[in-house]
């Protein structure tokens, strides 16, 4: 009888120790799993990125960017560069009819600039990596030079088209290497467009027809879209 009590006590002690040890191992494994998973997702130790948007060349923009991490989940994103008018999408074919005075619109340099805040909401990752949402304010100036195609008017006129747009972008930034990223984004918003252009016309003065410049101004609010890709070089600068 005494032996039976001893055996039962030993079995009970082993079961208690086994249960305690098993629970302890599960907790340790769970922590290690989360820790390793977080390292696998992050894959980024950079705090700033210099970027270039190649697709913006199709819109007449040479677009350079800079993004810097300002908090664990947030960053500031800036763009700046020159613009060249009359290239890219939506450009008119300026055909000159020698028998009808017309204006030639030539390219000129302008500028583009934008500023935005990026929020990276996904768990177990930090700013500059993976999915983000971003409100962006963008300004673009496209300058043009107008000449008289008939050669009668020797002076030129300077026209311009300005766009002030507010976008709400959605994007995904991925790191293909330690310091090389691709940033895909698309968005929508509203904007204001202002344009000043010129054309030549004939008016009857002093019993004769003369050529003169006629100025045209245009202002309108519109819906705008935004899509593109940025190539980035990251660093850990402070």
Provide the pLDDT for residue 167. Answer: 95
**Using one digit for the tens of pLDDT, what is the confidence trace for 74-93?**
999 999 999 999 886 655 44
Report the distance separating Cα 40 and Cα 20, nearest Å: 31
- Say yes or no to pLDDT of 202 above 90: no
The three-state secondary structure class of 31 is helix
CB-based contact 224:165 (threshold 8 Å) = yes
Report the distance separating Cα 62 and Cα 67, nearest Å: 17
As beta bridge partners, residue 190 has: 166, 223
Report the distance separating Cα 78 and Cα 47, nearest Å: 14
CB-based contact 84:106 (threshold 8 Å) = no
End-to-end CA distance of the chain: 76
Cβ-proximal residues to 64 (8 Å cutoff; 6+ apart), any chain: 50, 51, 52, 79, 80, 81
The three-state secondary structure class of 4 is helix
Tokens of 84: 């060249």
Provide the pLDDT for residue 87. Answer: 81
Cβ-proximal residues to 69 (8 Å cutoff; 6+ apart), any chain: 46, 47, 48, 75, 126, 127, 128
- For residues 221-233, one letter each, b for 16 or more C-beta atoms within 10 angstroms of the residue's C-beta and e for the rest, the string is eeebebebbbbbe
Provide the pLDDT for residue 51. Answer: 97
Whether this prediction's pTM lies above 0.85 is answered by: no
- Say yes or no to pLDDT of 98 above 70: no
- Least-confidence region, from 13-27, 101-115, 174-188, 213-227: 13-27
CB-based contact 98:88 (threshold 8 Å) = no
Check residues 125 and 229 and name the one with the higher pLDDT.
229
Provide the pLDDT for residue 132. Answer: 97
Provide the pLDDT for residue 16. Answer: 55
Report the distance separating Cα 212 and Cα 154, nearest Å: 10
């Amino acid at each position: 009888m005494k032996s039976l009590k001893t055996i039962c006590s030993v079995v009970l002690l082993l079961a208690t120790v086994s249960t305690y040890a098993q629970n302890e191992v599960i907790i340790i494994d769970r922590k290690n799993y989360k820790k390793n998973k977080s390292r696998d997702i992050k894959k980024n130790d950079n705090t700033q990125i210099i970027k270039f948007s190649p697709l913006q060349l199709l819109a007449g923009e040479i677009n350079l960017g800079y993004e810097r991490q300002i908090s664990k989940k947030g960053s500031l994103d800036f763009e700046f560069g020159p613009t060249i008018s009359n290239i890219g999408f939506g450009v008119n074919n300026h055909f000159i009819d020698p028998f009808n005075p017309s204006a030639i619109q030539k390219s000129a340099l302008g500028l583009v600039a934008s500023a935005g805040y990026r929020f990276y909401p996904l768990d177990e990752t930090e700013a500059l990596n993976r999915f983000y949402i971003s409100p962006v304010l963008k300004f673009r100036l496209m300058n043009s030079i107008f000449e008289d195609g008939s050669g009668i008017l020797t002076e030129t006129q300077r026209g311009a088209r300005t766009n002030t747009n507010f976008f709400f972008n959605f994007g995904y930034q991925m790191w293909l290497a330690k310091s090389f990223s691709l940033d895909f984004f698309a968005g929508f918003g509203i904007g204001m467009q202002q344009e000043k252009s010129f054309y030549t016309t004939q008016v009857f003065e002093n019993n004769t027809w003369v050529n003169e410049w006629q100025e045209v101004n245009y202002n309108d609010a519109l819906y705008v879209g935004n899509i593109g890709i940025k190539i980035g070089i990251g660093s850990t600068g402070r």
